[in-house]
Structure 1
Amino acid sequence: MGISYFYVIVGGGLAGLQLAYKLSKEIFFKGKKIAIIDPLEKNENDKTWCFWEKGEGKWDEIVSKTWTHTNFISSRENLKLDLAPYTYKKIKSLDFYNYIKEELDSSPDFVFIEDEISRIDPVTMQAIGKKDNYSATHFFDSRLPPSYSQENKYAKIYQHFKGWQIETENGHFEPSTFTMMDYRLKHENSTSFTYILPESSNKALIEYTFFTPFLVEDDIYDAMLKKYLSEILKIKNFRINSVESGVIPMTDFPFEEQNSKEITKIGTGGGWVKPSTGYSFKSTEKKVNKVVENIIRGLTPGKDLINKKFRRYDAIFLDVLARHNEKGESIFAKFYTSNSVEDIFKYLDEETSLSEEMKIMFSLFGFEFIESFFRKI
């Protein structure tokens, strides 16, 4: 028969743990047994999350580094942008995992289980795992649905990257300024760039990133990182302290259509990653707050989680990038040179008015956007 819980959260990553943490803070869920099931213990620093926000935030206790300025560098522009009134913040995944686990360990309502869930049966209300089965009144599922890989009518761009955390003998970096995008070194005719997060004057995460409809072999990242360090930054001697890599889907696939009264898709599997950027940390926080608000109000947990207007904007952009990937540099150059940082962040946070959105749309204006507008709308 398996083990029974009030809720089962499938996936103990960003979305699953943020959701569990939020549930633990609401008296409404007191006494309700909740399981967080993941095949891994989450005891390694496997990724880095960055986000922007105004002033102090709820995660500041575990923020490891902040920046007040950013560089955007193309083959034609070299911009240094003041982020005020925003700050760009970084959280190491292991610090986040440990923080949430420590918070939840003090509650008898939460249990962590190492198991891999193969499927969820909405009829028997069981999550089927390799080690056991788990019953619940509702499931929150972060896994990508099988239909995602089978569906071809939606745009599919991959944000894929590899980063080296390096240390140099001498100072090469400005600690208060990170580089959002540097297009001076591109891989063939693709949207590919370097992203830099300086920890100090001689320590930084150097990440080579692609926004492309295809993936590349691991040695491509290494070759681009080496070339960038030697030819662009002119750094000859350095030590690699750690390595991170990843693949983030950027897509207008309607993950939210998988939601039901029994199952709510969350995280990447719920479309909580911002499709046009790959950012997820603050987006997840907003979605978690909405899920909990829906439950307390007696609504289906997954109700109104996706802003369909912004999803259409993202769909147009992704279609352009999928069909004209070589134009990524010029598109992002228009985005950063024609709009203020505050307008950019406000738009990416889906907090702009229609007139503000039209201003940004017109700043990107081009035939390829008209073409994709009619394709997607």
Structure 2
Amino acid sequence: MLTPDYYYVIVGGGMAGLQLASRINNDIFFRGKKIAIIEPDDKSINDKTWCFWEKGAGAWDHLTTKTWQKGKFISSEINKDLDLAPYTYKMLRSLDFYEHVKSDLEASGDIVFIKDEITAIDPVTRTAKGKEQDYTATHFFDSRPPKDYKKSENATLIYQHFKGWYIKTEEDIFDPESFTMMDYRINYKDSASFTYVLPLSANEALVEFTFFTPFLTNEKTYDKYLNRYIREILKVTSFEIIEEEIGMIPMTDYPFHEKSTGKITKIGTAGGWVKASSGYSFKNTERKIDLLIQNIKSGRRPSKELFNKKFQKYDSIFLEVLSNRNDLGESLFTKFYTRNSIQDIFRFLDEETSFSEDIKIMLSLYHPEFLKAFFKKL
């Protein structure tokens, strides 16, 4: 067999692909291995904002735009302050991440960037077919989601979809030391929908209207509810929209991880690295890559045991409830945030809690719909 063009090919230069490449680049174990990142987009704009929580210093602190140790959860009935310590909630703009990681990788000498779109990967010939040319490798890390995940009869799919405005107001109205995790005072009828507010200063913030729903909507709907929130809740009549972002994140129990093989490891959304019950992905991706790197160094398949089956089942049940009774969104999240400490919530979402702690949290959410969902998913 001919020597492959590359040791590894990373298909996709988004968050997962670049995080993986960065870890490989900074580990002497991989020194001298030629790696290609193949991505059709230049990644030259700020196309999304990532937020995550962690204790103490983190690997990306030098790139964060803003951090908070205080937050709020607000429903139609309650306004709860959240003291996050010892956690910090961190905000990272995608363009800052792309530019920094790409600069580091380009200087390494072992990693090359190729602008192309991969259409298929043949594990037998170890060839990735691109629109411009073909590429061979000993192993592929593939961030392309399978085409059928939205149509699977055996999986539950909720869309986290949103539009955000970076706004600047004439008067100082925000508390830059506290962000709003969820505010349900303005919501779309009979749906799990809320506003998320990240204040950058006293007069600048990212205000985002977000849905966790089985359906999608149009851009005018986001604009309508963003305008309502800013005018009715924030009481702002004059503001400037500095920047906009819009996106969709699949929250699903589709078994993405089963698509990985001995020669192809699915990563990012395509690998099931988005936390199904919350939509958070940045820190989750970091944890998956830690395990993946350990597997490679130990001679195991990269995708081996990346997932905790217990928490996958919890996520699956929660998604089923939201899918069947989306109108319960505000009630369920109000129970979640008022009957548990924010520290326990973060540990649960990070899959660090014990079974007895899990039971306590699940009982705090109890609704008959959970029994129906449990038996269906069982």
> Structure 1 length normalisation: TM-score?
0.99
Which residue identity is paired with 1:155?
T
1:2–1:134 CA contact under 8 A, matched in 2: no
1:167–1:203 CA contact under 8 A, matched in 2: yes
Q: Which residue of 2 aligns with 1:90?
A: 91
Which residue identity is paired with 1:142?
S
2:150–2:157 CA contact under 8 A, matched in 1: no
Distance (Å, rounded) in 1 between the aligned partners of 2:365 and 2:3 = 54
Distance (Å, rounded) in 2 between the aligned partners of 1:376 and 1:70 = 34
Find out whether 1:328 has 2:329 as its counterpart: yes
Deviations, residues 71-123 of structure 1 (Å, cap 9, x unaligned):
11101111111111101001110110111112112211100111111111111
Distance (Å, rounded) in 1 between the aligned partners of 2:150 and 2:334 = 31
| Offset of residue 26 of structure 1 | 1.2
1:63–1:91 CA contact under 8 A, matched in 2: yes
Q: Which residue of 1 aligns with 2:366?
A: 365
Q: Which residue of 2 aligns with 1:189?
A: 190
Q: Which residue of 1 aligns with 2:345?
A: 344
Q: Which residue of 2 aligns with 1:62?
A: 63
Distance (Å, rounded) in 2 between the aligned partners of 1:225 and 1:64 = 22
Q: Which residue of 1 aligns with 2:143?
A: 142
Q: Which residue of 1 aligns with 2:43?
A: 42
| 1:31 aligned counterpart, secondary structure | coil
Distance (Å, rounded) in 2 between the aligned partners of 1:152 and 1:185 = 33
| Offset of residue 147 of structure 1 | 2.8
Matches within 5 A, 1:212-361: 212-361=213-362
Q: Which residue of 2 aligns with 1:76?
A: 77
| 1:147 aligned counterpart, secondary structure | coil
The 1:198/1:2 distance shift into structure 2, 3 A limit, reads: farther
Runs of 4+ with >2 A deviation: none
Which residue identity is paired with 1:239?
E
Which residue identity is paired with 2:115?
E
| Offset of residue 149 of structure 1 | 2.8
Q: Which residue of 2 aligns with 1:14?
A: 15
1:2–1:132 CA contact under 8 A, matched in 2: no
Q: Which residue of 2 aligns with 1:376?
A: 377
Which residue identity is paired with 2:118?
I
Which residue identity is paired with 1:151?
S
Which residue identity is paired with 1:67?
W
2:321–2:369 CA contact under 8 A, matched in 1: yes
Which residue identity is paired with 2:307?
I
| Offset of residue 68 of structure 1 | 1.1
Aligned residues: 377
Which residue identity is paired with 1:324?
R
2:75–2:183 CA contact under 8 A, matched in 1: yes
| 1:273 aligned counterpart, secondary structure | coil
| 2:46 aligned counterpart, secondary structure | coil
Distance (Å, rounded) in 1 between the aligned partners of 2:141 and 2:374 = 33
Find out whether 1:209 has 2:210 as its counterpart: yes
Give ranges in structure 1 of 5+ residues lacking alignment: none
Q: Which residue of 1 aligns with 2:176?
A: 175
Q: Which residue of 2 aligns with 1:132?
A: 133
> Structure 2 length normalisation: TM-score?
0.98
Distance (Å, rounded) in 2 between the aligned partners of 1:149 and 1:274 = 17
| 1:178 aligned counterpart, secondary structure | strand
| 1:279 aligned counterpart, secondary structure | coil
| 2:154 aligned counterpart, secondary structure | coil
Distance (Å, rounded) in 1 between the aligned partners of 2:179 and 2:234 = 14
Name the stretch that deviates more: 101-110 or 235-244: 101-110
| Offset of residue 2 of structure 1 | 11
| 2:148 aligned counterpart, secondary structure | helix
| Offset of residue 3 of structure 1 | 7.3
Q: CA RMSD in A?
A: 1.1
How many percent of aligned residue pairs carry the same amino acid?
Answer: 58
1:192–1:209 CA contact under 8 A, matched in 2: yes
Distance (Å, rounded) in 2 between the aligned partners of 1:115 and 1:150 = 27
| 1:151 aligned counterpart, secondary structure | coil
1:2–1:133 CA contact under 8 A, matched in 2: no
Distance (Å, rounded) in 1 between the aligned partners of 2:357 and 2:226 = 37
Distance (Å, rounded) in 1 between the aligned partners of 2:92 and 2:110 = 26
1:3–1:133 CA contact under 8 A, matched in 2: no
The 1:2/1:76 distance shift into structure 2, 3 A limit, reads: farther
Distance (Å, rounded) in 2 between the aligned partners of 1:147 and 1:124 = 24
Deviations, residues 290-344 of structure 1 (Å, cap 9, x unaligned):
1111001000000001111100000000000000000000000000000001100
Distance (Å, rounded) in 1 between the aligned partners of 2:147 and 2:244 = 30
| Offset of residue 150 of structure 1 | 3.1
